[in-house]
A = this chain, B = another copy of it.
Amino acid sequence: MLWTQSRIRLPAHPAGFHLVTDAICSGTESLKDCKIGVLHLFIQHTSASLAINENADPDVREDLQRHFDVLAPQNQSYYAHTLEGPDDMPAHIKAVLIGSSLSVPVSDGRLALGTWQGIYLCEHRDRGGERFVIATLQGVSA
């Protein structure tokens, strides 16, 4: 049995959807030793999220950003939580829509992602700063 837990620091990113698969894999202790397992990722923030989607065309990530700005727009008349800036309440809404955690199966020392899948850091603040992800790996070793 294999259990490891790592705290991965992601440097500051601008608002938007960013591919972080490599940073996650290299920051996860013992990933290559895991024969069958699940990698659990958890972002310790309320205005950023983790998601999985297309790893190729960067237009997908920009379209996602534009569309989530439509789904959770700034400056709605019914927002009461406005003191932290116009991008803050939309950021909380996007985080609830997309989610704080993600689990990915592990097979033979690698994430069992589909061909076109990558892991996204979804940064919902204009100046979110660095973000921390807890990566918990559980499984059986080779």
In the bound complex, CA of A79 to CA of B57 (Å): 13
Interface residues of A in 20-72 (CB under 8 A from B): 36-38, 40, 42-46, 51-54, 57, 59-60, 62-64, 66-67, 70-72
Within 8 Å of chain B (Cβ to Cβ): is A139? yes
Within 8 Å of chain B (Cβ to Cβ): is A12? no
Residue contact A36 to B78, C-beta cutoff 8 Å: no
Residue contact B36 to A63, C-beta cutoff 8 Å: no
Within 8 Å of chain B (Cβ to Cβ): is A142? no
Residue contact A38 to B136, C-beta cutoff 8 Å: yes
**Distance (whole angstroms) from the CB of A24 to the closest CB of chain B:** 14
Within 8 Å of chain B (Cβ to Cβ): is A10? no
In the bound complex, CA of A46 to CA of B115 (Å): 9
Beyond A42-B104, A57-B81: 10 further Cβ-contacts under 8 Å? Answer: A1-B1, A38-B40, A46-B54, A46-B114, A52-B100, A60-B92, A62-B80, A63-B80, A67-B93, A112-B134
A-B contact pairs, 9 of them (CB 8 A): A4-B36, A38-B138, A40-B103, A62-B80, A63-B78, A66-B79, A67-B93, A103-B103, A112-B134
